[in-house]
Chain A
Amino acid sequence: MTELLAKPPLRRLLITIAVVAVIELMTGPPGSNTAPTAGFKGSFAEHASFFGLFRTQRWVLFLFLALVGWGIVMVWMTNGPRVRVTLNKWLVVPRKFTSTRPVRWGVLGALLVVAVLLPHIINSPFWQAAMVEQIAVYVLLAIGLNVVVGFAGLLDLGYVAFYLIGAYTAAWVTGALPLPPLFNHALNPFWAIPIAIALVMITGILLGAPTLRLRGDYLAIVTLGFGEIVTIFANNLYGITDGSLGSKLIPHPSIHLGPLKYVWGLKPVPYYYLALGFVVLFLIVFSLLEHSRVGRAWTAIREDEVAAESVGINPLKYKVMAFAIGAASAGFAGVLTASQSNFIFPSSFTLTFSINILVLVILGGMGSIAGVVLGAILIQTVTEWLNNGQHWGYQPSDLYIYLGALLIVMMIFRPAGLIPSKRRKREILLSEADHENSHMDEVLLGDDT
């Protein structure tokens, strides 16, 4: 029996069935504490139709899908490498073409034009609002977190804290908090943008200077706690933040500079352009940084901190820089959210939010700016589509199940992300190649591969 199970085809079949059963459970109906088995029963026994083709119990349908999936896996296992080689042969010419400078600039320009025209193409008010609140804000957060996680290789699980501080800064300078604003003079949220960015960068330095000496996993847990603490304070300091009541009556931003007068109102599209402007600004700054001395220092620290230190790089200095610079875009995103929606509640800045942003970075590809932007747009669009209307019994609380599963799947199958950064990909491949060359590790692995 065990020998039979150890045979690759049967093993893969069992794994496929197990994975499909988990997917069944994830997508099935919910249970409750009074009927804990209802969800399980429903997930397997409930009837479902396969794109209207045939109607059967879910377990039959999913077993069918598992078998199909297994077939694909088996074919891929024998023919995959060959297909990959052929594909690469075909892709060499287009890759050479797309990697030339004029083509890249052309593509970037075309994407910018599309981004500018997008609100005029999409007329649905739902999607116009989603483009600001759900996509632009998340893109800003993802590219910021990418500086910390992707460039410098520091796992920050409390990134939401910077977003919260940005949002509360907007409320503070406009006089919407019990805490009186600077010089007792309420400002326009537009001026909150530089103040918020400066403030989150200072917070980043203050948090980073003591904690960034710690090893990677300790840092993750400390930043996680930091995110929680900031939320606890925002939730309880009634004299400063109005506590759990949240801050209301944050005005919309406006500009009054001589002849230049503009007021952002209730409509989402003007906010979209404001956000787009800042996204482009941050993208330019971050990609210039990536290819500068600082970016190379980050890479060096990420790959081998001791080696980096031995060639004269001060790891702490560059890590703190990454923290502060990465926080900047979150600070702006906070101001944008606060001033557009007029109100903020501490309960919307949770750890879940930090993880959500982390998923965007991981899916796109740590350290790859294009990948992260794509990942953020992709996930947020799908999420909004799922939230907007009924789709296969999806409920908003299910989202985090899928995101959690996505993190595991990405780490197992494509750790460098959808559009890997070249450096990252090489790092991972090198570490795995090292592994194959070492005889000792084969011993460590055992023989049940």
Chain B
Amino acid sequence: MGAFGHYLLAHLDTLKHEFWALFVGGVANGLLYGMIAVGYTLVYGVLRLINFAHSEIFMAGGFAGYFVMKALVGASAPSAFASVGLIVLGIVAGGVAGAVMAALLERVAYRTLRRRNAPRLAYLISAIGASYFLFNLAGKEFGHIAVSTPQPYINHAVFHIFGAPVLMYYIIILIAGVIMFIALDRLVAKTRLGRGIRAVAQDAETASLMGVNIDRTIAITFIVGGALGGAAGFLFAMGTGVVYTMGFVPALKAFTAAVLGGIGNLRGAMIGGLILGVFEGLCVVFVQAAYIDVVAFGILVLVLLVRPTGILGERLGRSA
């Protein structure tokens, strides 16, 4: 016990010194997880299925943004104005790629099965097949080695909180993430389209009797989730670079975040992402980097076993 006590005390001391730096990084990661988690939650809301190929939507966004940055970012650092323009362009490229990928996925791997009223297992298997097909095809077309994305900004510390530097990269994620979340939240809560999505999530048959076009609503739900996932892919790619398998781990964690917050619940996805990101960031002090994925996964199993409805509960279609 004594040895363990010393271990804990020593690490708690490190945690005290590093807390804010880790916290800031964790929040940025958490926002990215939240943006991916939204895709899982939206699809789960309307279809009651986990979209196993969501990781490849994320990857598509990452690659799209990467190629745009590679074509446009020069050797010298861009001016502040150009920097903002480039980042917006990258987010749009990532979002469009993600949306297109999601639409194709829905058409090929989901709608064909829905027509036949296939058993649930069939959807899971076709989505896993799509995921494998897509990321290995990306590996073939874009190479199997990881590359870093040219950065359209100077990654300096913009300001400090409690002595911890807040990097430009984190600020970009924060701004982009907050804007996208508010937009999504309003879209689902206030627009006609959002009402359709919520209606299908609550009761698809009744919604269709009320004049909601189910096929179209499901497709749009995939597209909205795909756009956010693709944009997150670009933001992730700016910090970490791109590789054909880049989607796997972030998507697994985003899924954890979605379950943690309550799957089917948009705000839950966001909160779950933030909690997971911060928790994971702080865990770096206590466990080796190699085991971080194990920690995230342990949380998933724990949540599923203890409270499968998540923190905010499954509020399918109830509100945002």
Residues of A within 8 A of B (CB): 25-26, 30-34, 36, 39-40, 149, 153, 155, 157, 210-211, 213-214, 216-218, 220-222, 224-225, 228-229, 232-233, 235-236, 351-352, 355, 358, 362, 366, 395, 397-398, 400-401, 403-408, 410-412, 415, 427-428, 431-432, 434-435, 440-441, 443-446, 448-449
Size of B's binding interface in residues, CB under 8 A: 61
A362 with B294: in contact, given A30-B141, A221-B252 (CB under 8 Å)? no
- 19 A-B pairs besides A30-B143, A401-B132, A445-B114 with CB distance below 8 A are A149-B121, A211-B304, A214-B305, A216-B121, A228-B293, A352-B132, A355-B128, A397-B136, A397-B139, A397-B144, A401-B133, A404-B134, A407-B126, A407-B128, A410-B129, A411-B123, A431-B117, A432-B118, A449-B115
Name the one of A214, A401, A403, A435 contacting B140, with C-beta atoms under 8 angstroms.
A401
Q: Bound complex: CA of A233 vs CA of B114, how far in Å?
A: 39
Q: Bound complex: CA of A73 vs CA of B312, how far in Å?
A: 50
Name the one of B108, B123, B130, B140 contacting A398, with C-beta atoms under 8 angstroms.
B140
Q: Bound complex: CA of A411 vs CA of B290, how far in Å?
A: 36
**Chain B interface mostly helix, strand, loop or mixed?**
helix
Q: Bound complex: CA of A157 vs CA of B127, how far in Å?
A: 13
Asked if B291 and A443 sit within 8 Å, CB to CB, the answer is: no
Asked if A221 and B255 sit within 8 Å, CB to CB, the answer is: yes
Asked if B136 and A408 sit within 8 Å, CB to CB, the answer is: no
Q: Bound complex: CA of A395 vs CA of B140, how far in Å?
A: 9
Q: Bound complex: CA of A411 vs CA of B122, how far in Å?
A: 6
Chain A residue at smallest Cβ distance from B116: A432
Q: Which 4 A-B pairs have the closest CB atoms?
A: A407-B129, A404-B133, A404-B132, A435-B117
Q: Bound complex: CA of A412 vs CA of B305, how far in Å?
A: 33
Chain B residues with CB under 8 Å of A401's CB are 132-133, 136-137, 140
Residues of B within 8 A of A (CB): 49-50, 52, 67, 108-109, 112-126, 128-134, 136-137, 139-145, 147, 204-205, 208-209, 213-215, 242, 248, 252, 255, 259, 288, 290-291, 293-294, 297, 300-301, 304-305, 308
Name the one of A210, A214, A216, A404 contacting B120, with C-beta atoms under 8 angstroms.
A216
Asked if B293 and A400 sit within 8 Å, CB to CB, the answer is: no
A397 with B140: in contact, given A222-B300, A408-B130 (CB under 8 Å)? yes
Distance in Å: Cβ of B103 to nearest Cβ of chain A: 14
Name the one of A210, A225, A235 contacting B290, with C-beta atoms under 8 angstroms.
A235
A362 with B125: in contact, given A235-B290, A403-B132 (CB under 8 Å)? yes
A25 with B304: in contact, given A397-B144, A408-B129, A427-B119 (CB under 8 Å)? no
Chain A residues with CB under 8 Å of B123's CB are 411
Chain B residues with CB under 8 Å of A440's CB are 205
Distance in Å: Cβ of A295 to nearest Cβ of chain B: 18
Asked if A412 and B137 sit within 8 Å, CB to CB, the answer is: no
Q: Bound complex: CA of A449 vs CA of B133, how far in Å?
A: 26
Distance in Å: Cβ of A92 to nearest Cβ of chain B: 27
Chain B residues with CB under 8 Å of A397's CB are 136, 139-140, 144
Q: Bound complex: CA of A233 vs CA of B252, how far in Å?
A: 18
Q: Bound complex: CA of A395 vs CA of B49, how far in Å?
A: 34
Asked if B204 and A444 sit within 8 Å, CB to CB, the answer is: yes
Chain A residues with CB under 8 Å of B294's CB are 229, 232-233
Asked if B213 and A444 sit within 8 Å, CB to CB, the answer is: no
Chain B residues with CB under 8 Å of A30's CB are 140-141, 143
Distance in Å: Cβ of B303 to nearest Cβ of chain A: 10
Chain A residues with CB under 8 Å of B205's CB are 440, 443-444
Asked if A217 and B49 sit within 8 Å, CB to CB, the answer is: yes
Name the one of A149, A210, A229, A415 contacting B118, with C-beta atoms under 8 angstroms.
A415
Chain B residues with CB under 8 Å of A225's CB are 252, 297, 300-301
Asked if A412 and B143 sit within 8 Å, CB to CB, the answer is: no
Chain B residues with CB under 8 Å of A403's CB are 129, 132
Asked if B136 and A411 sit within 8 Å, CB to CB, the answer is: no
Chain B residues with CB under 8 Å of A34's CB are 143
Asked if B288 and A236 sit within 8 Å, CB to CB, the answer is: yes
Q: Bound complex: CA of A33 vs CA of B120, how far in Å?
A: 37
Distance in Å: Cβ of B24 to nearest Cβ of chain A: 27
Distance in Å: Cβ of A411 to nearest Cβ of chain B: 4
Asked if B141 and A39 sit within 8 Å, CB to CB, the answer is: yes
Q: Bound complex: CA of A401 vs CA of B259, how far in Å?
A: 30
Q: Bound complex: CA of A405 vs CA of B131, how far in Å?
A: 9
Asked if A217 and B124 sit within 8 Å, CB to CB, the answer is: yes
Chain A residues with CB under 8 Å of B50's CB are 217-218, 220-221
